[in-house]
A and B are shown apart, each in its own frame.
Chain A
Amino acid sequence: MLQVEHLTKRYGAVTAVDDLSFEIAGAGVYGFLGPNGAGKSTTMNIMTGCLSATAGTVKISGYDIYESPREAKRRVGYLPEQPPLYLGETPLEYLRFVGEAKGVRGSELKRQIDAVVDETGIGDMENRRISALSKGYRQRVGIAQALLGEPDTVILDEPTVGLDPIQILEIRALIASLGKSRTVLISSHILSEVQTMCSKILIISHGKLVAFDAPDALESRLASPGEISVTAETDAASAKALIAGVPGVSGVAVVSDTPERSHLTVTAGTGEIYELSRGIFEAFARGGHALSELGVKKASLEDIFLELTEAEPAGGKEVKTA
């Protein structure tokens, strides 16, 4: 469980993280999404005790990261953006050191190392020097390190950056499997990645939390209701009149207009968009004009993301749900 309350970090006049609060609990993969420079890494560094906060608290499984750092850090595994590896060592030597530093000893350490080596699939490489490993394998060693000590919470900062497409798929599959038994928080600025892997998404922009919800819920709750593209076999004026009679229309724009064919874009109101498209279809059927095209364009997560993160810091739209 990870609780962040009113977290603020200032660098001189620059506010990197601005009064951020959220709580995640239970197994699953959580996505931490934001454009570059939104404060993702800063927040993650603070949550794992690598950086101090200007104000606010971070609790890991109930332990405050500043007041009882030892207990808190035992319960969180962290992979920074650049995996912190000793290149001259083999993965086994490296994992042994990290395990010992986390207070795991003897046969328990051996069992845990075997388990994480197995889980991250680095068994074939465990006796090679880390400097000889590919980027994908280094990332896996970094993840293995984070898993030692059996933490409840695992924080991975941009775990797929710089990997080739096959490695990305492998790492994503690995993260998804990790999320089955632990709370995994991953940061990313790639939307599709978070969308496929995460059960819930936190979106931050300019250091503020702008959204926190499941990907589907975000789409339906936050989406601007979407647009319907209509091409009808009549002139724009009569098409417009027909559409205006349908309930749930908030606006109509004419794209092109000829006496025999016109193209319009209908902006939906708050209602269900398919309901609206059905209404338009029926209206044209009653009016006796053929529809040559009726296309529903739902707002994608991409649109929501852009809308949320491109807002100005002061006038930013804030939607916060737990």
Chain B
Amino acid sequence: MSAIFKHELRSYFHTLTAWLFAAFLLCFVGIGAMMYNIQAAVSNFEYVLSFGCLVFVVIVPILTMRVLAEERRQRTDQLLYSLPVSTVEVVLGKYASLIVLYLVPLAIIAVYPLVFARFGEVYLPTSYGSIFAFFLLGAALLAVGMFISSLTENQGLAAGVGIAAVLFNYYSVSLSEYVSTSAMGGVIALIALCCVLGLILKLLTGSGSLGYWVGLALSTACVALYILAPESIEGLLPGIMSTLSLFERFYVFVNGVFDLEAVVFYLSVIGFFLFLTVQSLEKRRYN
């Protein structure tokens, strides 16, 4: 695993990717710090992060798009499969290098609250709690991005899907206020989710019929639920959208609450998507 990790890290710093990622993140957070902390003279650094998290829409896909898609395009994935290294180690090594890359600009950002504390009263626990949550939020999004990259050999497609996924996640709470709370809306959303699940299953297992049948079975179950107990799915869609939002849980930290449940949620998301990435790579060995 350490060989993969070192190799990845070296290749990031050899190319523009690492520098571009760090520059974007620091620039965005820097602008935020200037606006909130310097011009508006607010002492809360967490507001800067809350503003800055929009930058993930751009930088996460930039960083993750090539992770696995490029291996597949250059056919170096065959090398990885034939090396005495397990797929889990490949995925963990690659993910660890992404995390280290992400920690570098974050370490610089972590100095800001200390700098501001010299000129006024900064409540450091909230600042650092938020930086910690900011790290987890980014780490979770990186895991999602890596999974998306594992699905295709086209970097552009991986980036596009990545941007769409992060953007949708970013706006999902605001969007959830506009979507229907009726049972009808709920069931339609559930069916859409079932279809997406079926599609992921099809991509992962390579077996079309399994994906279709699971999607169909779940959709039928949703329709049955709608007919038998419509009240149980009222308001379900906005509920799902805000529950699945990674960003929403970050704002809790910004408000000064250290939410352990959110930490567990982020770690679960990371674990889940790393697992999916491993499955996605393993699957290619089977067809």
Q: Which of A52, A71, A149 has the most CB of B within 10 A?
A: A52
Which residues of chain A come closer than 8 Å to B78, judged between CB atoms? 45, 50, 78, 80, 82, 84
* CB 8 Å contact bits of A68-102 with B (1 = contact, 0 = none): 01110110101010101111110001000110111
13 additional A-B residue pairs with CB within 8 Å, beyond A80-B79, A102-B83, A149-B84: A11-B287, A48-B82, A50-B78, A50-B81, A70-B86, A73-B83, A82-B78, A84-B78, A88-B14, A89-B14, A97-B7, A98-B79, A100-B7
A selection of 25 A-B contacts at a CB cut-off of 8 Å is: A49-B82, A51-B285, A52-B286, A69-B86, A73-B82, A78-B78, A80-B75, A80-B78, A80-B82, A82-B75, A84-B75, A84-B76, A84-B79, A97-B3, A97-B7, A98-B79, A100-B6, A100-B7, A101-B4, A101-B83, A101-B84, A102-B83, A102-B84, A145-B79, A149-B84
Which residues of chain A come closer than 8 Å to B81, judged between CB atoms? 48-50
* CB 8 Å contact bits of A100-114 with B (1 = contact, 0 = none): 111100000000000
* CB 8 Å contact bits of B64-86 with A (1 = contact, 0 = none): 00000000001111110111111
Which residues of chain A come closer than 8 Å to B287, judged between CB atoms? 11
B255 at the interface (CB under 8 A from A): no
* CB 8 Å contact bits of B264-286 with A (1 = contact, 0 = none): 00000000000000000000011
Please measure, in the bound complex, the distance between the C-alpha atom of A97 and the C-alpha atom of B84, giving whole angstroms: 13
B182 at the interface (CB under 8 A from A): no
Please measure, in the bound complex, the distance between the C-alpha atom of A292 and the C-alpha atom of B117, giving whole angstroms: 110
Chain B: which residue is nearest A145 at the CB level? B79
Please measure, in the bound complex, the distance between the C-alpha atom of A93 and the C-alpha atom of B7, giving whole angstroms: 9
Chain A: which residue is nearest B90 at the CB level? A101
Interface size class of A (residues with CB under 8 A): 20 to 34
Chain B: which residue is nearest A47 at the CB level? B82
* CB 8 Å contact bits of B1-35 with A (1 = contact, 0 = none): 01110110011001100000000000000000000
Question: Judging by beta carbons under 8 Å apart, are A84 and B86 in contact?
Answer: no
Which residues of chain B come closer than 8 Å to A102, judged between CB atoms? 83-84
Please measure, in the bound complex, the distance between the C-alpha atom of A100 and the C-alpha atom of B10, giving whole angstroms: 14
Which residues of chain A come closer than 8 Å to B77, judged between CB atoms? 84
Which residue in A11, A50, A70, A84 is a CB contact (below 8 Å) of B84?
A70
Chain B: which residue is nearest A73 at the CB level? B84
